[in-house]
Amino acid sequence: MQQALKKEDGITWEQDGITYMEGRIYIPNNKKLREMILWKNHDFVDIGHPEQQRMMELLKQNYWWQGFKEDIKKYVQGCFKCQQNKVQHQWKLGKLHSLKIPQEPWQEISIDIIGPLPRSNRMDTIVVIMDWFTKMIQLKATTMNISSEGIAKIFRDKIWKLHGIPRKILSDRGPQFASNFIEEFTKTLGTTRQLSAVYHP
């Protein structure tokens, strides 16, 4: 890296054994040295634990090395005090409410995908469909790359064919369930699609 830097006339130079790049000190691939510089520009009493962008501005005034930005990001994310005092910018989560118990079997169901599991007969995933009223479940072996169309076929063969069309389907926000295809599909059937809240199963 040192030789590569020296080739850049006018941009890099060496003085007293220190390599400079565009006026900043180039820090070689020395983990302890880089960690010490990161510590002095983040944990030091006079600095006060700056966030990533501010720390980057402080460091780039005097130093540069390859992977500079990524090292700063990891250091700040790994700082216990920063995570402890981090300001939460997301909306305050509302209270969770239990689901109402339906009056008939197979009118309100939930669906989920469990996997990847150890492969068996080229299958590594299980689609689990549960009736809220009876707690009865239907299982179907499949693969992790199952599509929305594949989910619709499982509904057809395992649920609608045996129990009729449900009024409501609850699922998480996986791509197979949150797709426009499933939205239009359930709308055509007159079934309500209910996606669970973010961060909650």
Contact indicator for 2, 39 with CB cutoff of 8 Å: no
Contact indicator for 168, 107 with CB cutoff of 8 Å: yes
Tell which CATH classification among 3.30.1330.40, 3.40.50.800, 3.30.420.10, 1.20.200.10 matches the domain 108-195.
Answer: 3.30.420.10
Tell me, which fold does domain 2-84 have in CATH? Endonuclease III; domain 1 (1.10.340)
The domain ranges of the chain are 2-84, 108-195
pLDDT tens digits for range 78-131: 887 777 776 655 656 556 666 677 888 999 999 999 988 999 999 999 999 999
- Global pTM? 0.49
pLDDT tens digits for range 33-55: 988 898 888 887 677 788 888 88
Among the listed residues 147, 199, 134, 156, the one whose alpha carbon sits nearest the alpha carbon of residue 177: 147
Measured CA to CA in angstroms, residue 95 lies from 28, 80, 98, 139, 173 at distances of: 52, 29, 10, 31, 19
pLDDT tens digits for range 158-177: 888 889 999 998 888 888 88
Contact indicator for 111, 129 with CB cutoff of 8 Å: yes
